[in-house]
Amino acid sequence: MERRIFHCGTCGYHLRFGVPRCSRCYRPTRLYNRKGFWWALALMVAFVGVQILRYTI
């Protein structure tokens, strides 16, 4: 069973992770509900971590 922890900002419908549009009102979902956002955030954190380590060692 898949948990639906995200909500549509317009109609409040419970959404699965990673869907680009709400199944009820077809509005675009919030940015943090999309997989690309989390991949980009992880890459930015890794890049900043490497830069910090590079200048502190």
H helix count then E strand count, the chain: 1, 2
Count the domains in the chain. Answer: 1
Q: What is the mean pLDDT of residues 29-53?
A: 92
Range of the domain at 13: 6-56
CA distance 18 to 53: 32
Considering the domain boundaries, does residue 1 fall inside one?
no
With contact defined as beta carbons under 8 Å apart, do 20 and 28 qualify? yes
Considering the domain boundaries, does residue 40 fall inside one?
yes
pTM higher than the cut 0.75 = no
Considering the domain boundaries, does residue 19 fall inside one?
yes
Q: pLDDT tens digits for 10-35? A: 999 988 888 889 989 999 988 888 88
Considering the domain boundaries, does residue 12 fall inside one?
yes
Considering the domain boundaries, does residue 42 fall inside one?
yes
29: helix, strand or coil: coil
